[in-house]
Amino acid sequence: MPDDATPDPYANPIAFGQRMQIQRQRRGMSRPVLAGLLDMSPSWVKQVEGGRIQVPKLPMILRIAEILRVRNLADLTGDQSMRIDLFIGPGHPRLAAVKAAVDEFPLTTTGLAPSTRHLRHRLDGAWAARHSAPNHREVVGELLPGLIRDGRLAVRQADNAADRRTAQSLLSEVYSLSQFFVAYQPDSALLWRVAERGMVAAQDSEDPHAIGVAAWLTAQAHRDSGPGHFDAADAVTLEALRYLEPQLPDADDRVLAIAGALQFEAGYTAARRGENGAAWGWWDKAEKTARKLSMDYYHPVTSFSRAIMGAHAVTVAVELHQGGESVRQAARADETVIRSRPRRARHRIEEARAYQLDGQPDTALATLDKAHEAAPETIKYNGYARRIVLEECESKQPDRRRRASELAVKLGLLAA
């Protein structure tokens, strides 16, 4: 291997600082950017990477792991006793069945496809279950294999071009539902197969709403892959918005909502970059779009609505590391009008991040308890929640450490 080649971070022995540098470079992040996100100086980052100062304590290690999207703490620390997945949750028991349905390559199937009306009814029921069930992954995971197989069958057996486009739109939506199930599980390749197939089916459907939803989910997959993929996330988001823009003056609530969701996605990515003006500028655009929606409208895939904009404001402030502003936005957001259990739990997690950022760890833990009450399967797979809980398990305050440990047991991070 050439002397200037990037060392393998899994080889031993490699010091913490060198592992940190490797992970930072793999994410395409500069020292000044990492330093800014950590509220430290570029000099501090350089000294840690060079091994000239001691290894940071666990709370800082967890923050570094969060920012660099390090999947497993052992990849950063080299300590195999710390094999804790932050941004990949435990594999769901129904993952294998969903994967088998996605991976099938049926050419000789003789079954009769259900009607598109029947598929629409089943999909509506699946989305309703996802939003209302506390164990939403379990419920959706049970429904997905049949929906995937029947969706593909409907496309293959369509009688004419119009019917085929309708079936493709439904199949794309099935893949969208699948992406919610597969996300943050230990099979990133499956996630990308689902995202790409959803986009292809949406494009074949020529349905603006389906295309917008597929783009929204694909942009999220890029962004969650780390800073090196932010440009790709923006490219998908902005191209979808350019496609939808001419149709917005006469659009129904569904198409307006997916445009608003995409506008917020652009702001979310800007916030992850630390671009304050752009982040809030896109939030403003999304908020104006939300005002055009019917008062009680709630998009079944993205949860975009008038009510969700308060929750989105919390997310922007948190991603910009604006502690005081994030808490102010959390106080303003009315989470009780968020009808979806998993989205309500996600909002609670964002609130917890705000309180943690603002130096209120006890309130953060109490808020995570509420997230667990709303949707246990949401918090169990959320890397931000897991990071906060692990950090507070090291607290010097006995009561706080006990509460964090109890929550860690619920999330499967610690043995009972």
pLDDT, residue 79, reads: 67
Same CATH fold, 92-206 and 16-82? no
CATH code for 92-206? Answer: 1.10.730
Span 64-84, average pLDDT: 70
pLDDT-derived band at 312 (thresholds 50, 70, 90) equals very high
pLDDT of residue 7: 47
Whether the bond between 13 and the residue before it is cis, its omega within 30 degrees of 0, is yes
- Share of residues in the chain with pLDDT > 70 (%): 92
How much is the pLDDT for 363? 94
Q: Is residue 42 helix, strand or coil?
A: helix
Confidence tier at 88 by pLDDT (50, 70, 90)? low
Q: Residues of the chain with pLDDT > 90: what percent?
A: 56
pLDDT the model gives residue 2: 43
- For the chain, the domains span 16-82, 92-206
pLDDT computed for residue 103 by the predictor: 93
Residue 336 pLDDT > 50: yes
Q: 200, exposed or middle or buried, with CB in 10 Å at 0-12, 13-18, 19+?
A: middle
Looking at the predicted structure, is the pLDDT value of residue 136 above 70? yes
Q: Convert the pLDDT of each residue in 342-373 to its tens digit.
A: 999 999 999 999 999 898 999 999 999 999 99
Contacts by 188-195, CB closer than 8 A, 24 or more apart = 188/88, 190/99, 190/102, 191/221, 192/221, 193/102, 193/103, 194/102, 195/221
> Is-contact 357 321, C-beta < 8 A?
yes
Reported as a pLDDT band with limits 50, 70 and 90, residue 5 is: very low
Start-end of H helices in 133-229: 136-156, 161-182, 188-205, 208-223
Pick 369 or 109 by higher pLDDT. Answer: 369
Reported as type and span, the H/E element at residue 108 is none
Q: What number of other Cβ atoms are within 10 A of residue 222's Cβ?
A: 21
Instruction: Report residue 200's pLDDT band, with 50, 70 and 90 as the boundaries.
Output: very high
Q: What number is the average pLDDT over the span 63-67?
A: 80
Q: 379-390, pLDDT tens digit by residue?
A: 988 888 988 888
Does pLDDT of 6 surpass 60?
A: no
**Mean pLDDT (whole number) for 283-312:** 94
pLDDT at 56: 86
- pLDDT confidence tier of residue 33, bands split at 50, 70 and 90: confident
| Rounded alpha-carbon distances, angstroms, from residue 52 to 16, 18, 44 | 11, 11, 9
Coil/strand/helix, residue 53: coil
pLDDT for position 130: 93
pLDDT of residue 53: 85
Split at pLDDT 50, 70, 90, the class of 10 is very low
* Model pLDDT, residue 187: 84
Which pLDDT band, with edges at 50, 70 and 90, does 15 fall under?
Answer: confident
pLDDT band at 11 (very low <50, low <70, confident <90, very high): very low
Q: What is the pLDDT of residue 416?
A: 53
Spatial separation of the C-alpha atoms in residues 413 and 175, rounded to whole Å: 30
pLDDT bracket for residue 394 (50, 70, 90): confident
Look at 35-44, 186-195, 217-226 and tell me which has the smallest mean pLDDT. Answer: 35-44
Mean of all residue pLDDT scores within the chain: 88
CATH of 16-82, picked from 3.40.50.300, 1.10.260.40, 3.30.465.10, 1.20.1530.20, is 1.10.260.40
327 has a pLDDT exceeding 80: yes
Q: What is the pLDDT of residue 253?
A: 95
What average pLDDT does range 272-293 have in this prediction?
95
